[in-house]
Amino acid sequence: MKKKLLIVLIMILCLSACGKKGNEEEKASYELGGNTYYNSVDNYGHEDHSKLWFGKDGSFVFTDSYTDGYNELSGKWTLNENVVTLDVEDGGKESVSKLILEVLDKDTLKLRTSLAGSKSDDLFSTIEVKGSSVEPKKEETTPAAPEETKTDTKEEEKKEEEKKDGTKKEDTAVTPSEKIPCTGITSLYRNYWSYENEKDWDLEIRPVPENTTDKITFKSSDEKVVKIDDKGRATAVAPGKATIEAVCGDKKLTVNYEVRAKGVPATAASYKAKFSDVNDAFQPTVSFDPTGTFVFTENVYAGMAKIKGTYKIEDGRYYCTVTDNSSMQGFAGQDVKEIVFKVVDEKTLKLKTDLCMSGSGRLFYLEG
């Protein structure tokens, strides 16, 4: 008898261990590294849709559809259960530091943060999608009418009571519409800039909670610079600076908005690189003038050489056409015809051209 009990106990322990192993396998994390996910829609009608690539080293590149092309964001990603967090290190034209996605299954992600081209709730799949498309409008649903049978029953009960006591009962129950006050206003941006004549920039200004009964209103301090509609979408009109103000209930939020002329910055600007092993006097520097000219002072080990020329700004990049690089002769970069900088943010440029001491990827920081 004891022998039989021992055998049964051993079998139970084995089954328990197998079940535990199966559960552990079910909880295995999603493998995102090395995969590319494509947005199922394109809100600007581009042929190539927005896409998100995950590196196995924890890096990511998000190529987002933009009004006149595409914007590239990059940084590090982490996965916690079914939530993917993208910590943005280089946002290109976007002033955003963090993106959130929800893993629906191993082949599908749902974006939980809005960008310029990709919106919250957009689905990203491992299946590449091409072709012009726009996000379908969400159908509005009409609340179901209350059941007539319940209303009829109450009316009948009321009439029966009136017959018994010979009086007519007045309706005393009043159901006022519930008021939900606004407790705050949020925005992804507190400082924003765009080029003149660019339209429909969603500043992501939202009341808290979003179902508040208080009405949110928007106002521009100078509509000759930027206009704002009742949905919080901005239209850049002419170069200058203005303030966008949002008011909901007794809450208020402001966003500083700058409109820049296409082709040149509003004022002269100078950016300097930072090399840890070089003193300040020998740090490479690039200066841009509103007249459309630039001067790049490069460290060529034997001293400082100057590269001069003209420039224009397009798609978040400075395109510098070299007209004089005579002092670079004999050094790396002596044959360069064009120097390109990518705008990282309002105070940072990233060099995209190899020169002498300054190589592609080097960051230049606004002085002053």
Best mean pLDDT range from 102-106, 185-189, 327-331: 102-106
Per-residue model confidence (pLDDT) at position 328: 83
What's CA 297's distance to the chain center, in Å?
34
pTM of the model: 0.34
Token pair recorded at residue 329: 């002769």
CATH numbers and ranges of domains, the chain: 36-125 (2.40.128), 184-260 (2.60.40.1080), 269-366 (2.40.128.280)
Per-residue model confidence (pLDDT) at position 182: 93
What's the mean pLDDT in 153-170?
58
Give per-residue pLDDT as tens, 217-232. 999 999 998 999 998 8
Per-residue model confidence (pLDDT) at position 166: 57
Give per-residue pLDDT as tens, 312-329. 887 778 999 999 988 888
Least confident of 138-152, 155-169, 274-288: 138-152
Quickly state the pLDDT bin for 140 (edges 50, 70, 90).
Answer: very low
How many C-alpha atoms does 279 have within 13 Å on its Cβ side? 2
Say which residue the tokens 């790396």 belong to: 332
Per-residue model confidence (pLDDT) at position 294: 93
Does residue 331 register a pLDDT over 50?
yes
What burial class does residue 64 get, using C-beta atoms within 10 Å of its C-beta: 0-12 exposed, 13-18 middle, 19+ buried?
buried
Of 237, 233, 202, nearest in space to 223 by CA: 237
Per-residue model confidence (pLDDT) at position 248: 95
Q: Are 263 and 257 in contact (CB under 8 A)?
A: no
Quickly state the pLDDT bin for 26 (edges 50, 70, 90).
Answer: very low
Quickly state the pLDDT bin for 149 (edges 50, 70, 90).
Answer: very low
Q: Are 193 and 259 in contact (CB under 8 A)?
A: yes
Give per-residue pLDDT as tens, 57-98. 888 989 887 766 777 888 898 988 788 888 888 877 777 778
Quickly state the pLDDT bin for 15 (edges 50, 70, 90).
Answer: low
Q: What is the DSSP string of 9-75?
A: HHHHHHHHHHHHHHHHHHTPPP--TT-EEEES--TT--SBPPEEEE-TTSEEEEEEEETTEEEEEEE
Q: Are 298 and 333 in contact (CB under 8 A)?
A: yes
Quickly state the pLDDT bin for 24 (edges 50, 70, 90).
Answer: very low
Instruction: Tell me the average pLDDT of the chain.
Output: 78
